[in-house]
Structure 1
């Protein structure tokens, strides 16, 4: 994770936890559906505040471990998902023994890693036949006002990767399978601002740029008639991918 934006999120851990959407249970269950019977240990890498960790724990009866490069994000995860072991690490350098886990999953994170190095390192830690799962929640930019909001906030690295054809993985993992889920999330003006504040572009932007983005967002929200406790349905697309480790 060489991009400084990848490790910037701890500065906005509270906004990340409060404003980022949860993952649909069905998408996470599908991502893990090909796990071998009796799977014992699953690892969420780039776990952040635990948005994916908690759904993985609901989907599978196994030990779940969280790994992230940012200690501040892991501190928030321990509040949100008590009892989950946490470790500082990255997809390219995992604090895990060889062949010690049945699956590694990454939510909103693979676009920050070196896919060849990360595939090799995750392949080292995953048992033969185990799963690598990748998942993203992205606003649906086919909707006009959402597309305008993304233009104001600047497209994220994840959005750029998904628009360019999606993620790639390398040996020892095979071809990626993929599925999509479309859904909506009602959000207030304040929630949308907090969501924007949790994005790496705004976290690393100058104070002047952040102020200009907030001003343009407010202009759009005024146009939508979004005020106070009122909400707007934000359309989302969840894209999930899975690949098995060669035996």
Structure 2
């Protein structure tokens, strides 16, 4: 990041940073707990078929969870703006319809899905444009949901890692306090425990796929990765072999107004 770079320019660069590391993103990022997806879809009851849009689908982490909880592949459509991420998704889930597109201009017909699920991405949207688009493609009574995996900083060694990174890791955390609109007048929130099995090296690689790391220069990125590994190897819980990275998964949902 340069001294003259504005917050808006940095945000745009971070949002566009993932595609070049799509394979690492697919390999290192965690999935989502089944419980959060079941909670997201709960308001739709026994509606069948249950047509679900995985919006800003990335490499398919949410798609994977949707399929695992029993949503048929034929009823899932994934939409992702980055060609590199989309290619990884298509490789991993060839049975799922996958389209290039973005939240502000969704390439689907009016009322064509019952639920929209956004994993780890709603904070990148221009909600003033995305809310009307998402409402347009939702059927009556449909659900919009956003999900974020957040590291559990109530665990001392995780809080210690955040301090080592100078708060960089905490940028993953999202409050889930979303602005309401005519389309989505009320949001509900729920939290779910989650873990990812990691080693010091694989956790450093996971952090390396975060946007605040991807926009760093090579030397600065190497220096931060060195600090991550140094801390993890000096911490008893993470020094040797595999360990669980504790997370809290936040779900936010709203019915179409």
The normalised TM-score by structure 2 is 0.87
In the TM superposition, residue 3 of structure 1 has moved relative to its aligned partner by: 2.1
CA distance in 2, matches of 1:154, 1:218: 15
In the TM superposition, residue 129 of structure 1 has moved relative to its aligned partner by: 0.5
The counterpart of 1:178, out of the listed 175, 184, 189, is 189
CA distance in 1, matches of 2:64, 2:179: 25
The counterpart of 1:55, out of the listed 54, 65, 81, is 65
In the TM superposition, residue 21 of structure 1 has moved relative to its aligned partner by: 0.9
Counterpart check, 1:30 vs 2:44: no
CA distance in 2, matches of 1:136, 1:108: 5
Task: State the match for 1:44 in structure 2.
Answer: 54
Q: CA RMSD in A?
A: 2.0
Question: 1:111, 1:157 within 8 Å by CA — same for their partners in 2?
Answer: no
In the TM superposition, residue 196 of structure 1 has moved relative to its aligned partner by: 1.3
Task: State the match for 2:91 in structure 1.
Answer: 79
5+ residue gaps, structure 1, are none
In the TM superposition, residue 40 of structure 1 has moved relative to its aligned partner by: 4.0
1:145-224 aligned at under 5 Å gives the runs 145-151=157-163, 152=165, 154-155=168-169, 157-159=171-173, 161-162=174-175, 166-224=177-235
Question: 1:74, 1:86 within 8 Å by CA — same for their partners in 2?
Answer: yes
Task: State the match for 1:98 in structure 2.
Answer: 110
**Which deviates further from its counterpart, 39-48 or 124-133?**
39-48
Task: State the match for 1:114 in structure 2.
Answer: 126
Task: State the match for 1:15 in structure 2.
Answer: 24
Cα pair distance change 1:169/1:231, threshold 3 Å:
farther
In the TM superposition, residue 39 of structure 1 has moved relative to its aligned partner by: 3.7
Partner SS for 1:92: coil
Cα pair distance change 1:172/1:89, threshold 3 Å:
same
In the TM superposition, residue 174 of structure 1 has moved relative to its aligned partner by: 2.5
Partner SS for 1:3: helix
Partner SS for 1:172: coil
Q: How many residues end up aligned between the 2 structures?
A: 242
Partner SS for 2:219: helix
CA distance in 2, matches of 1:169, 1:237: 24
| Superposition misfits of 4+ residues, deviation over 3 angstroms | 155-158, 225-228
CA distance in 2, matches of 1:148, 1:167: 29
